[in-house]
Structure 1
Amino acid sequence: MDSAANPSDKRVDDSEFLEMTQQDAVQAKMLRQSLEHLASGLGGPALKEMAQEVLSGRMGLREAANVSAYAEEAVQQSAPLAEKWAAMSDSEREALAAEGERRLEEERRQLEDERRAESENRSGTKSRHDGRGWSLY
């Protein structure tokens, strides 16, 4: 199913990711990035296939989570992370959580800057029909 890696293939819009993240655009963006990493093969062949299916829009993320082969692989791949988390002290966990919050805030600022720039670009361009600057001569 490597055809999903073809850029000409259909890509799922962000509405599914927004639904999964309770309409948080930054978390939706990070979810998409995570799926893109998995689609590159970082999590092994089963998670690569799952991510490609979701990113192409052929399968929803909730639906993919219910496929036993994908779920089993996700559990297997996450086990070392869970063990590492369990071995951390409370202060290490707090530091890691704080770093995650900083990253989310940085992503939020970046998204706001992008939206502001887009808005300024749109408002700065004249419409063909706005009547300003028109002259018969």
Structure 2
Amino acid sequence: MDSAENSSDKRVDDSEFLEMTQQDPAQAKILRQSLEHLASGLGGPALKEMAQEVLSGRMGLREAANVSAYAEEAVQQSAPLAEKWAAMSDSERQALAAEGERRLEEERQKLEEERRSESENRSGGNRRHDGRGWSLY
């Protein structure tokens, strides 16, 4: 079943996630990872189904949020987190926000390293024609 879920994960285009995260690839990747966790059953059967529908591309994330069964389950699952947030002090909230920012920055750095590596690999394959080290004299 994992291979079927993994193949369906690859069918959805990241453009929707980028739209939802204001074109931030790091946030889009974290959003995808969150949906993958939900698709594994982490949030219960309704959110599992919702995440699988979104990751497969059969349903958009905004569309899924408008399905009452999914929305109700999301509210129910997030209620304890909201209570915990409300009980935190300002300094605890700031620390948690800072941790989130650190995670985003780490993800941005990983993505940049991946882009750099891909770029180097592409340019490395054309060394014979790149003009470096060649001289007429």
TM-score (norm 2): 0.88
Measure how far apart 1:52 and its partner are: 0.2
* 1:17-75 residue CA offsets vs partner (Å, 9 max, x unmatched): 00111100000000000000000000000000000000000000000000000000000
Contact 2:35–2:51 (Cα < 8 Å) also in 1: yes
Residue pair 1:12, 1:56 contacting (<8 A) in 2 also:
yes
Secondary structure at 1:75 match in 2: helix
Provide the alpha-carbon RMSD of the alignment: 3.5
* Shift in CA distance, 56/130, structure 1 to aligned 2, threshold 3 Å: same
8 Å Cα contact 1:4-1:53 kept in structure 2:
no
Q: Which runs of 5+ in 2 are unaligned?
A: none
Residues 69-106 of structure 1: per-residue CA shift (max 9 Å, x gap)? 00000000000000000000000000000111111111
Q: Would you say how many aligned residue pairs link Structure 1 and Structure 2?
A: 137
Which stretches of structure 1, 4 residues or more, deviate above 4 A after TM superposition?
Answer: 1-4, 127-137
Equivalence for 2:123: 123
Change (3 A) 1:136 1:90: closer
Instruction: Give the share of equivalent positions with the same residue, in percent.
Output: 91
1:93, 1:121 → 2: CA distance?
42
**Gap change, CA 1:103 and 1:82, over 3 Å in 2:** same
Write the mapping of 1:12-91 to structure 2, written as runs, cut at 5 A.
Answer: 12-91=12-91
Separation in 2, partners of 1:107, 1:119: 18
Q: Per the alignment, do residues 39 and 4 of structure 1 end up closer, same or farther by CA in structure 2, a change over 3 Å counting? A: farther
- Please tell me whether the aligned partners of residues 18 and 25 of structure 1 are also in contact (alpha carbons under 8 angstroms): yes
Identify, as 1 or 2, the structure richer in helix. Answer: 2
Please list the CA deviations of residues 98-127 of structure 1 after superposition, one character each: whole Å capped at 9, or x if unmatched. 111111111111110110000000011129
| Alpha-carbon distance, 1:11 to partner | 1.8
* Distance (Å, rounded) in 1 between the aligned partners of 2:23 and 2:56: 20
Compared CA separation, residues 56 and 134, structure 1 to 2 (3 A): farther
Please report how far the alpha carbon of residue 7 of structure 1 lies from its aligned counterpart in structure 2 after TM superposition: 2.5
Q: 3-state DSSP class of the match of 1:58? A: coil
Check 1:86–1:4 CA distance in 2 against 1; reply closer, same or farther (3 A cut).
farther
Are the structure 2 counterparts of residues 113 and 9 from structure 1 closer, same or farther at C-alpha, using a change threshold of 3 Å? closer
